Structure 1
C-alpha cells in the first residue's frame, strides 16, 4: 500500500485514513504494527487495537490522522489530525501530540499544524476546526493562538483524566480566518 505524504522542511506527514487503518490491521504483524504506529509497549498496542475494533467511523463522523515522521530517519515521532470529523457540518476537532520527548520544543508541531490545517480547509472542505484544550496546557494554547484560533469558552468537566473530571477550553478557527493568515 502506498501512503499519501506531505513534506515539510523537517517532517514527513503520512496520511492514515480508514482504508489505511484497515489495511495495516489486516496485513501487519504485531511487530510491524507497533513499528508503523510508533508504539513502544504491548499495553499501548493493545489499547490501539481495541480502539480500532470499536470502529474508527460512526454515522456522519470520521477521522483522518497524519503520522509525523522525522525526515532524517523516517521514525514516527507523533501525530496530528482530525479525530472527530462531522461530514455533514464541515467541521472537525483537531488533535496533535509528539510522542518522542527528544523532538519537543523545536517548533515541529507548528510546522506540522500549518500543513494539516491547509489540508483540512482545502482538501477536506472544512468550514470550522475545533480544539479542546486543558486550561493548564499552556503550550497547546499558545500553539492554537499562533494559528489564529479564537477561545470560545469553557466546557465544564468535559473529559476524565486519571479518574478526575477536568474542564476543557474550546478554541475554533474558521476557514475565512485561516485564509486571511
Structure 2
C-alpha cells in the first residue's frame, strides 16, 4: 500500500494532514496528558523529544505503507489537536483497525466524530476496506459511545486480554462494514 502523495483530508472544522517535526509541541500536549492517555496502552511523553519520536515512528510506518495516521488540525488555530489513523492494517482481508486520540481541551465538541467519519469514508472509498474495527479499553465509555454514534456495532468483549500499567485490562471490539457505512453515507455504492 502506498500513501504517496499523503492524502490530506478536510472537514468543516478540521484539516487532517501528515504530522511533521514542527508538530512536536502540540503532540506533546496530548501525549503527556494522563487523562488523554488513560486508555491508550502507550507510555506518557515526558519530553517534547518523546513526542518527536512518536511523529518519526508514525511517519516511518507511512513511508513503508504499513499504517497511516493523520494529525487532526483545527482550522481555527492551525494547531494539531489530535491524531487518528489506521493503526493496524490487514490488506489481505480488506480490513483495518482505527485508533485515535484528542487533546483534552477539544473533548465533547464533536471533533473526533467529525474526524472519524472523514477517515472512515476515506478508508472505504480509497483503501477499498470491507470493514473497519476499533479495539478499546472496556472502561472507556466515551470512546464506545463515539463508535456507536459513528455506526459501529460491538462485536466482542475480551476479558483481561492485554496488560498495561501493571494490570490486566478488558477490551471491547467494535466493527463497521462498508455495507453498513453505505447506509449513513460513509461508503460509496
Question: For the superposition of Structure 1 and Structure 2, which TM-score range results when normalised by the shorter chain?
Answer: 0.7 to 0.9
Runs of 4+ residues over 6 Å off in structure 1? none
CA distance in 2 between partners of 1:146 and 1:107 (Å): 11
**1:150 matched to which residue of 2?**
153
**Conserved in 2, the CA contact under 8 Å of 1:62 and 1:86?**
no
CA distance in 1 between partners of 2:52 and 2:161 (Å): 22
**Cα drift, residue 125 of structure 1:** 0.6
**Cα drift, residue 6 of structure 1:** 1.6
Q: 1:36-57 deviations in whole A, cap 9, x for unaligned?
A: x62256546337637829x638
**2:174 matched to which residue of 1?**
171
Unaligned runs of 5+ in 1: 17-23
Structure 1 pair 44–74 and aligned structure 2 pair: CA distance change class (3 A): same
Matched, 1:125 2:128: yes
Q: Structure 1-normalised TM-score? A: 0.78
Other structure's SS at 2:172 match:
strand
Matched pairs, number? 163
Other structure's SS at 1:39 match:
helix
CA distance in 2 between partners of 1:75 and 1:2 (Å): 22
**Conserved in 1, the CA contact under 8 Å of 2:24 and 2:51?**
no
1:73-152 mapped onto 2 (5 Å cutoff)? 73-98=77-102, 100-152=103-155
CA distance in 2 between partners of 1:10 and 1:77 (Å): 12
Structure 1 pair 44–129 and aligned structure 2 pair: CA distance change class (3 A): farther
Q: Structure 2-normalised TM-score? A: 0.75
